[in-house]
């Protein structure tokens, strides 16, 4: 599996230095947590890594590919999926349609393919099966035909996770995957993350709840004011007082 890494990342918006000279290399699999106070630059980092923002300085690499200048859809096609801090879904269509949207390499999405409809029926059927299996995996199989907008917040978060999985991405960036959901739903999501780890995927998530980080993360990265101030296993990083003070300050 290829490593996702970056060096020298700098990003400034309107006078705010969101990222300052950031160097980072992610592990090839497992669960990594990014923590830090508000404004530390966590979401900005994810936006840069997934192509939604272009850094002012620095480079990002996925294996041999340089991804710094790539557009978001290009990064996604390299096998990197993500969720958003403000939940993004197509609320006006069904749960199933959202997941079908996430499937890759669809001939039916090409103009000629859609017009001539050669072999689309088979492709759609296969994608439907895959989508249904994924929805079963996350526990939304009862809601397949409901509109995404009618789900509860926690169920919508599950749906975004299902969409990420539907892309068959090896690397998932999750921006606060359990924020605002019931503890029961949160456990379900964490359970799913552990499953993903067993499947050999790399999950990187932003989190504020230290307990959760302690529970699931293999690696913790602590950010503050645009820089990485510590990284390492939770047992190590989370015990250091000065880190925790920065975090709680």
Partner 1 sequence: MLSQLFFNALVTGSIYSLVGLGLSLILAQAKFINFSHGALVAVAPYGALFFIDQLQLNFYASVSMGILFSIAVGCLLEIFIFRPSRQANASSLILLIVSLGVYICIQNTISLTFGDSARSIRSGNHTATLVFFGGSLTLIQLATIITSFLATCCLLLLVKKTKVGAGMRAITSDPELARVFGININRIILLTFAIGSGIAGIAGILVALDVDMTPRMGMSLLVMAMVTVIFGGSKNLIGVTVGAYLLALAQQFAVWNINSQWQDAITFLVLIVFLLFKPAGLKGLQLRKGNI
Partner 2 sequence: MAHAAFYGLGAYTSALITLHFGAPFLLSTLMGMMAAALISLFISLPSLRLHDDYFVIATFGFQMIIFGVLNNWMDVTRGPLGIPGIPQPAIFGWVIRSQIGFVVLSSLLAIFAYSIVYRLSASPFGRVLRAVREDEIFAQSLGKNTLWFKVLAFAISAALAASAGSLYAHYITFIDPTSFTIMESILVISMVIIGGAGSPWGPLIGALILVILPEALRFVGFPSTVAANLRQIIYGILLVLMIILRPRGLVGRYGFGQ
Q: Does 248 bind partner 2 (CB under 8 A)?
A: no
- Asked if 137 is part of the footprint of partner 2 (rule: CB under 8 A), the reply reads no
Please state, as a whole number, how many other Cβ atoms lie within 10 Å of the Cβ of residue 59: 14
40-69 footprint of partner 2 as x/- string (CB under 8 A): ----------x-x-----------------
What's the DSSP call for residue 69? T
For position 126 contacting partner 2 by CB under 8 A, the verdict is no
Tell me how far, at minimum, the Cβ of 106 lies from partner 2, in Å.
5
Please say which residue, 103 or 226, places its beta carbon nearer to partner 2. Answer: 103
Residues that bind partner 1 (CB under 8 A): 47, 52-53, 84
Sequence-separated (6 or more) residues with CB below 8 Å from residue 159? 89, 95, 98, 99, 138, 140, 148, 151
> Strand order of the sheet with strand 80-82?
80-82, 171-175, 202-206, 30-35, 219-224, 227-232
Using CB under 8 A, count the residues that bind partner 2.
Answer: 34
Residue from 124, 146, 215, 218 touching partner 2 (CB under 8 A): that is: 124
Question: Is 64:2 a contact under the CB 8 Å cutoff?
Answer: yes
- Cα–Cα distance, 163 to 83 (Å, whole number): 9
Report the nearest approach of partner 1 to the CB of residue 52 (Å): 6
3-state secondary structure of 30: strand
Chain residues in the site for partner 2 (CB under 8 A): 50, 52, 71-73, 76-77, 81-82, 84, 88-93, 97, 100-102, 104, 106, 108-111, 113-115, 117, 120, 124, 163, 167
């Amino acid at each position: 599996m290829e490593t996702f890494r970056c060096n020298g990342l700098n990003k400034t918006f309107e006078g705010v230095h969101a990222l300052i000279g950031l160097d980072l290399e992610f592990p090839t699999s497992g669960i990594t947590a990014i923590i830090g106070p508000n404004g530390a630059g966590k979401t900005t980092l994810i936006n840069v890594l997934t192509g939604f923002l272009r850094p002012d300085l620095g480079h990002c690499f996925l294996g041999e590919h340089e991804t710094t200048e790539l557009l978001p859809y290009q990064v996604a096609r390299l096998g990197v999926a993500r969720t958003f801090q403000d939940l993004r879904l197509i609320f006006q269509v069904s749960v199933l349609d959202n997941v079908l949207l996430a499937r890759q390499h669809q001939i039916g999405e090409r103009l000629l393919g859609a017009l001539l409809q050669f072999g689309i029926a088979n492709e759609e059927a296969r994608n439907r099966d895959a989508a249904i299996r994924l929805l079963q995996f996350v526990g939304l199989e009862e809601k397949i035909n409901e509109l995404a907008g009618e789900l509860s917040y926690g169920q919508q978060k599950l749906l975004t996770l299902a969409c990420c999985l539907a892309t068959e991405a090896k690397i998932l960036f999750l921006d606060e995957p359990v924020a605002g959901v019931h503890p029961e739903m949160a456990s379900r999501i964490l359970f799913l993350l552990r499953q993903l780890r067993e499947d050999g995927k790399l999950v990187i998530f932003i989190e504020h709840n230290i307990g959760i980080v302690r529970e699931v993360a293999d690696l913790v990265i602590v950010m503050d004011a645009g820089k990485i101030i510590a990284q390492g296993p939770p047992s190590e990083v989370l015990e250091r007082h000065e880190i925790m003070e920065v975090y709680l300050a």
